Amino acid sequence: MDTKNGDADIQTRKILFLTNSESGQANTILAMALEALTRPHVEVHIASFPSLKRRVERLDSKLNFHPLDGKDMTGMMTEHGVSEENFPHPPATKSFAVYGRNLGLLMAGWDGESYMRTCDTIKRIIGELNPGIVVADTLLNAGLDACYSLNREFVMSSPNTLIDIVRAHQPWVKGFWYYPSFATGISFPVSWRDLPINILAAIMMVWKIATSPEITRLDKYRNAHGLPGRLPMESAPTRAVHVICPAVRETDFPLVVPDNVGLYGPIVLDTNPIKVSDPELNQWLDRGETVIMCMGTHFRYRESQVKAVIDGFLSAVNHDSNTQFLWKLSDKAKFDGLIEEALKNPRDKERFKIVDWFEVDPASIMKHPNVVAYVHHGGANSHYECALCAGLPQIILAQWYDLYDMAVRVEYRGIGIYGNRNVAPDIEAVEFGTAVARLVRPGKESEGFRTRAKVVAEACIKAGGKRTAVDKLLEIIEGKE
């Protein structure tokens, strides 16, 4: 950048990040925002719903937070009666009703007035700041609408996988038959036996979106208030906007990637080493190889599932091995009696460390050399931030929508196991125990999983993550000056 009289005359470069407040969407944005603060002459602003404010302020006081008017996604879903208890569903191949159950709400559950308040707030913030670049969460429809209506150059940031962005770009309409359809859990390559139901699932999804009363209602309101066309989420990836994707080719199916989609690898927040942030837990991990299990914020266990996890793990490990199990079990107190009954044997009991909350970021736990596998629900955060960055094999116990896609993707890449394929969204002891055994028992199979996971982790690190993504943002700003 040109200067006239030294650093004092260098123009400050403003970056405005627009994001939902939920961690699954915000983490990628927050990681880039903190990275941008490390660059000279950069001013960082974050616009989101008020529930994110405290977290932003704790991360760094130099982050400028702008609250959005309207309802956040969590509040909207709660208003419609969607909770953790009723969110899990079987894969679509077992019931196509899942497409009509919550999909329209997830995409367009806001009432028109609240949606427009959010959109108008974002337009006002952009007008007041006049940032050099706007970075918008792909799942924040109101933010995309605001950028398009202002005719502003902006960048999209996706927290999701590559196929979620480029499915519609595949030649020969492959996105609708060649790859597993959304929420089906069908393996890749799709077999001839599964092809008819895979195509039917794709047709059903398109039909459900096209006829969704929630989407239709919101589109009518948007159109009446000056926002043309359908929701940006339905068409935005086809427009010539640069998209930041936290994936690399090694983490997904073989895909054709358009020039406007950048593959940056996992974009994650920095974490302190576990020996610094939680010395007591670090000491426990030092005892032997460890499998860690965390099913995400929105999952709620039933008693039968708690019993299945305990019985499954114990069946997988040899009595004389030192393999242990670190488990984040939500509402642990509800299951204390069941746990006590299931772990009567002192040797079995000492293998387990069960907590209802991790005091440190799971990503820092994953970096301990004794952690050998990660069990999770298939969320993008768990997949990218923990398993891929740490190079750990995964067991995915899929629960809903894109989590089924993640399960079959890690199996295709040979870095994990779909651990509840036969009973999803439930958990069954024999199936789970078999998956654990394949990853922890000594032999060629477990070594193969670990080797492939390390290779994928190396590709992710090479892509650069948040550093390379912020380089791209500054390149775009400087190209306009």
DSSP 276-291: HH-HHHHHHHTTS-EE
Write down the pLDDT at residue 65.
98
Helix (H) or strand (E) holding 355: strand 352-355
Contacts of 255 (CB under 8 A, 6+ apart): 162, 163, 166, 170, 249
**CB-CB contact of 42 with 13 (8 Å):** yes
Provide the 3-class DSSP secondary structure of residue 455.
helix
Under a CB-based contact definition with an 8 Å cutoff, are residues 379 and 405 in contact?
no
Tokens of 304: 């039968």
Contact 367, 392 (CB under 8 A): no
Task: Give, as one character, the DSSP assignment of residue 190.
Answer: P
**Can you state the percent helix, strand and coil of the chain, rounding each to 5?**
50, 10, 35
* Residue 24, C-beta contacts closer than 8 angstroms, at least 6 positions apart: 159, 379, 380, 381
3-state secondary structure 230-265: CCHHHHHHHCCCCEEECCCHHHCCCCCCCCCEEECC
Please state whether beta strands 13-18 and 133-137 pair in parallel, antiparallel, or not at all (unpaired): parallel
**Which CATH code of 3.90.1200.10, 3.40.50.720, 3.40.50.1360, 3.40.50.2000 fits the domain covering 7-265+464-480?**
3.40.50.2000
Q: Where in the chain is the domain with CATH 3.40.50.2000?
A: 7-265+464-480, 274-462
Q: Is 294 helix (H, G, I), strand (E, B) or coil?
A: strand
Dihedral sign for Cα atoms in the order 356, 106, 177, 385: negative
Amino acid at 255: L
Residues sharing a CB contact under 8 Å with residue 68, sequence separation 6 or more, in sequence order: 47, 48, 49, 50, 118, 121, 122, 142
pTM, 2 dp: 0.93
Contact status, residue 202 vs residue 97, Cβ threshold 8 Å: no
Q: Are 265 and 248 in contact (CB under 8 A)?
A: yes
Q: 274-462 domain in CATH 3.40.50.2000?
A: yes
Own/partner pairs for 224-231, CB < 8 Å, 24+ apart?
A: 225/112, 225/116, 226/149, 227/119, 227/145, 227/149, 231/107, 231/108, 231/141, 231/145
**Angle formed at CA 423 by CA 417 and CA 428, multiple of 5 degrees:** 75
- Tokens describing residue 357: 């909350």
Q: In what order do the strands lie in the sheet with 243-245?
A: 64-67, 42-48, 13-18, 133-137, 154-157, 243-245, 261-263
DSSP-assigned letter for residue 426: S
Tell me the pLDDT tens digit for each residue of 396-406.
Answer: 999 988 999 99
Q: Which residues are CB-neighbours of 49 under 8 A, at least 6 positions away? A: 20, 21, 67, 68, 70, 71, 72
* pLDDT by position in tens, the chain (length 481): 444 444 555 688 999 999 999 888 899 999 999 999 999 999 999 999 999 999 999 999 999 999 999 989 888 888 887 776 677 889 988 877 766 667 787 788 899 999 999 999 999 999 999 999 999 999 999 999 999 999 988 999 998 899 999 998 999 999 999 999 999 999 999 999 999 999 999 998 888 888 889 999 999 999 999 999 888 876 655 567 899 999 999 999 999 999 999 999 999 998 888 999 999 999 999 999 999 999 987 789 999 999 999 999 999 998 778 999 999 998 999 999 999 999 988 999 999 999 998 888 888 999 999 999 999 999 888 888 766 788 999 999 999 889 999 999 999 999 999 999 999 999 999 999 999 999 999 999 999 999 999 999 999 999 999 999 999 999 999 886 5
The CA-atom distances, in angstroms, between 380 and each of 168, 390, 410, 460 are 20, 14, 12, 14
d(CA 70, CA 68): 7
CA distances in angstroms from 306 to 297, 334, 478, listed in the order given = 16, 11, 54
Q: In what order do the strands lie in the sheet with 394-396?
A: 352-355, 324-328, 290-294, 371-376, 394-396, 416-418
Look up tokens 């069908």; give the residue: 186
Q: Over the Cα atoms of the chain, what is R_g? A: 23
Is 412:375 a contact under the CB 8 Å cutoff? no
Element (H, E) at 156: strand 154-157
Question: Tens digit of pLDDT for each residue in 155-185?
Answer: 999 988 999 999 989 999 999 999 999 999 9
- Provide the CB-side half-sphere exposure for 350 (13 A, CA): 9
Which pLDDT score is estimated for 3? Answer: 41
